Amino acid sequence: MTSRRAFLQAMGKAGGYSAAYLSMQALGLLSMPRAFAGVPQLPAGSGKGKSVVILGAGMAGLTAGHELIKAGYAITIIEARDRIGGRVWSIRRGDRVVQDGRDDQICQFDSGLYMNAGAARLPTEHHGIFHYARELNVPLEVMVNVNRSAPVDAGSEIVSQRRAVNDTRGHIAELLTKSIDGGALDRELTSKDKEMLRAYLSDWGALTKSGSYAGSDRSGYSRPPGGYDEPGKAFDPLTLDQLMSHGDWGAPALFEETFDQQAPMFQPVGGMDRIAHAIYGTIRDHVRLGSPVAGVRSSDRGVTVTLVHGAPITADYCLCTLPANYVAKLDHDFSAAKTASLAGATYVPSAKVAWEAPRFWEDEGIYGGLAWTDAANTVVWYPSGGWNSPKGILMGAYTYGGRPNSVAFTHMAPEERLAISRGVIERMHPGKSKLLGKPITVAWNETQYSGGVGCLWTDEQRKTDYLQLCKPEGRVFFAGEHLSYIPFWQEGAIESSYEAIKLMRERTAADRVTA
Ligand SMILES: Cc1cc2nc3c(=O)[nH]c(=O)nc-3n(C[C@H](O)[C@H](O)[C@H](O)COP(=O)(O)OP(=O)(O)OC[C@H]3O[C@@H](n4cnc5c(N)ncnc54)[C@H](O)[C@@H]3O)c2cc1C
C-alpha cells in the first residue's frame, strides 16, 4: 500500500508545493487545531496587586493584556514599533513602509483603500479571533477565498479554475472508470461496489454513458448561452497533458479542502487591523509604542525589562510575545536549553505586492478569489468588498516559502517583484496591466521586528525546541503564534496567550500562598 509520505511526494511533483502542503494538512501530517476551549475565565480580582509587563503588541500581547486587565492585573505593554498589530498590518494612504536595506515606500492609495500586508482572512474555525470581533462589535464581511471564475495559469494557456478543476475531475473519473471496466479493481471491489462506484464517478466527472469524458458545461462556455436562439457552446476539454503542465495544477481544486482555507472566509470591514485596534482601544493607556525592548531578566522577586531607550521597567511577571527570532536577540539569562531552542526557530520568508487599479477584473465577472500561477508571484488575489466601486486593491503577489521561485521572490529587489507581478497580471488580463498603479510591496523577511511570516517547526522540533520554548523561565512566560499548533495564523497567537495566562494565574496563586 502507498504510504502517506509517498503519496505526498507524488502530489508534490504533480501539484507543486502548495498541493503537497494542503495534502499534508488533509492527511493529518501537519497538526490540526484542537477544539476551541474558550477564553480562560480568570476569577475577578485574581490578579489584584500583581503587575505584568507584556513584550510586544501583536495579537498575542494585545489579547493577553485585554484578558489580564479584566482579572485585575496591572499591565504594561511594550512595543518596538510606532503601531500595534505586529504581523497584522493594514497599509493605507500616507503610511510609510520601511524595509531592511530598501528605500522607504509611502502608500499613495486613495482614501478608504488598504492593503493587508500581513493577515488577510479568517476561517470560521478560528473561534478566538471571531470571539473578539463579536465582543468588540467589529463588523465582518465575507472574504471570497475560492472563486472558480478566477484564472489559473495552466502552462501554455490561462484558463478559468472552473475549467481546470472540472476537466481534471472528468479525466480522473474516466481513468478510474476504465480501471473498473478493465478489471483492475476486481480484487478490491465486489460487483455491487463496482456498480455503485461507476455510477458515482459518472456523476462526479460528468461522464458520457460509455464512461468517457468529453467535456461539460461545468467547465464553462467558449460561447456563452444567451437569449432566443443562442444555446451556447461549452469549452472543449483541456487534455490531461495540458493540465499537468502547470506546476500548481492541483492547487485550485485542493485549496478549499484545507481545513483552514474555506471558500467563503471573513475579513473585518475596512482592514484586518480593525480587530487588533478594537482590542487596543480597551487597553490603550497601558501600551507604550516606539519602545524596543533590549533585555529581560527574572529573579525571585520579579522581572526587570530593559529598553533600548529609557529607564528599565520592573514587574511581578513578564509575558514575552516577541517572535522567537527576536527573543533570541534579547539580553537574557535564560537556561542553556532555552537559548539553544531559540536558535532553532526558523522563520519563513514571505512577500506581497499590492496595486491600486480600476476594477477591470469585475468587468470580467471575477468578484474576489485567488488566481494561481507557477510564476514566482504564486497568486493574484482579487479584493472582496467594495464591489463595483471605481477602484480596488489588487494583490499581485503573495508568496510564503514553498517553491524555489516563490522563495527567491521574497529576496528580490522591489522593482523586480513588481515587474513579475505586472507581467503575470498582463498575461491573465491582456491589456490591463497599464491600469495598475501606486504599488506597495512588503517582504516580511525584510521587515524589522518580524523577520518572516511565521515560525516553521519540524516534527522533530515539535518534540524538543517547541516544548522547551512553551515553558516559563522563572517569572517570564511566553506566547505568540510560534507557540501554537495553529502557526501562521492570528488564532495561534491568541490561543498561545490563553495558555500563558493560565500558567500565570497558577503562578500568581502559588506566590500568594508562599508570600
Ligand atoms: C503575510 C502574512 C499573511 C498572514 N495571513 C494570515 C491570515 O490570513 N489570517 C490570520 O489569521 N493570520 C495570518 N497571518 C499570521 C498572523 O498575522 C500572525 O500569526 C499573528 O499576527 C502573530 O501574532 P503574534 O502576536 O504572535 O506576533 P507579532 O504579530 O509578530 O507580534 C509581536 C510584536 O512584538 C514586537 N516586537 C518584536 N521585537 C520587539 C522588541 N525587541 N521590543 C518590543 N517589541 C518587539 C513586534 O513589533 C510585534 O508587534 C499572516 C501573517 C503574515 C506575515
Task: Verify whether ligand 1 is closer than 6 Å to residue 79 (CB atom).
Answer: yes
Residues 346, 487 contacting (CB under 8 angstroms): no
Same domain for 332 and 439, yes or no, is: no
Task: Verify whether ligand 1 is closer than 6 Å to residue 401 (CB atom).
Answer: no
Same domain for 392 and 425, yes or no, is: yes
**pLDDT of residue 156 exceeding 90:** no
Query: 193 in a domain, yes or no?
Result: yes
Q: How confident is the model at residue 154 (pLDDT cuts 50, 70, 90)?
A: low
Neighbouring residues of 306: CB distance < 8 A, sequence distance ≥ 6: 293, 294, 295, 296, 312, 331
Structural domain span for residue 204: 157-245
**pLDDT of residue 369 exceeding 60:** yes
Task: Verify whether ligand 1 is closer than 6 Å to residue 57 (CB atom).
Answer: yes
CATH number at residue 401: 3.90.660.10
Task: Verify whether ligand 1 is closer than 6 Å to residue 397 (CB atom).
Answer: no
**pLDDT of residue 14 exceeding 60:** no
Residue nearest to atom 52 of ligand 1 (CA): 118
CATH number at residue 196: 1.20.1440.240
Task: Verify whether ligand 1 is closer than 6 Å to residue 119 (CB atom).
Answer: yes
Query: 119 in a domain, yes or no?
Result: yes
pLDDT reported for residue 254: 87
Q: How confident is the model at residue 372 (pLDDT cuts 50, 70, 90)?
A: very high
pLDDT reported for residue 515: 75
Which atom from ligand 1 is nearest to the alpha carbon of 450?
30
**Cα(68) to centroid of ligand 1, in Å?**
20
Same domain for 232 and 373, yes or no, is: no
Instruction: Summarize pLDDT for 221-232 with one digit per residue, the tens.
Output: 999 999 999 999
Same domain for 217 and 179, yes or no, is: yes
Query: 255 in a domain, yes or no?
Result: no
Instruction: Summarize pLDDT for 398-414 with one digit per residue, the tens.
Output: 999 888 999 999 999 99
* Spatial CA neighbour of 488 closest among 260, 297, 304: 260
Query: 41 in a domain, yes or no?
Result: no
CATH number at residue 336: 3.50.50.60
* Spatial CA neighbour of 167 closest among 175, 264, 259, 263: 175
| Helix H or strand E segment including 380 | strand 379-382
Same domain for 281 and 267, yes or no, is: no
Query: 403 in a domain, yes or no?
Result: yes
pLDDT reported for residue 253: 81
Checking DSSP bridges between strand 90-92 and strand 114-116, what pairing results, if any? antiparallel
pLDDT reported for residue 227: 98
Task: Verify whether ligand 1 is closer than 6 Å to residue 355 (CB atom).
Answer: no
pLDDT reported for residue 35: 61
Task: Verify whether ligand 1 is closer than 6 Å to residue 121 (CB atom).
Answer: yes
**Cα(316) to centroid of ligand 1, in Å?**
25
**Total tally of structural domains belonging to the chain:** 3
Query: 250 in a domain, yes or no?
Result: no
**Cα(375) to centroid of ligand 1, in Å?**
27
Burial of 423 (0-12, 13-18, 19+ CB in 10 A): middle
Q: How confident is the model at residue 20 (pLDDT cuts 50, 70, 90)?
A: very low
Weakest mean pLDDT among 33-42, 204-213, 217-226, 376-385: 33-42
Same domain for 335 and 482, yes or no, is: yes
User: Hunting for cell 477584473 — which residue is that?
Assistant: 361
Task: Verify whether ligand 1 is closer than 6 Å to residue 480 (CB atom).
Answer: yes
Same domain for 289 and 392, yes or no, is: no
Name the average pLDDT for the chain: 92
Same domain for 357 and 429, yes or no, is: yes
Q: Which of 446, 468, 486 is the last residue of a domain?
A: 446
Task: Verify whether ligand 1 is closer than 6 Å to residue 488 (CB atom).
Answer: yes
Task: Verify whether ligand 1 is closer than 6 Å to residue 446 (CB atom).
Answer: no
Same domain for 281 and 327, yes or no, is: yes
pLDDT reported for residue 155: 65
Query: 237 in a domain, yes or no?
Result: yes
Task: Verify whether ligand 1 is closer than 6 Å to residue 350 (CB atom).
Answer: yes
Cα–Cα distances (Å) from 363 to 232, 367, 389, 390, in that order, read: 20, 9, 11, 11
pLDDT reported for residue 37: 80
Q: How confident is the model at residue 33 (pLDDT cuts 50, 70, 90)?
A: very low
Instruction: Summarize pLDDT for 83-101 with one digit per residue, the tens.
Output: 999 999 999 999 999 999 9
Task: Verify whether ligand 1 is closer than 6 Å to residue 128 (CB atom).
Answer: no
Q: Which of 446, 471, 503 is the last residue of a domain?
A: 446
Same domain for 111 and 134, yes or no, is: yes
Choosing from 87, 255, 319, 325 the residue with most ligand 1 atoms within 8 A of its CB, the one to mutate for a pocket test is 87
Same domain for 479 and 339, yes or no, is: yes
Query: 28 in a domain, yes or no?
Result: no
Which atom from ligand 1 is nearest to the alpha carbon of 350?
1
More confident residue, 131 or 36: 131
Same domain for 164 and 208, yes or no, is: yes
Instruction: Summarize pLDDT for 272-325 with one digit per residue, the tens.
Output: 999 999 999 999 999 999 999 999 999 999 999 999 999 999 999 999 999 999
What mean pLDDT is predicted for residues 389-403? 95
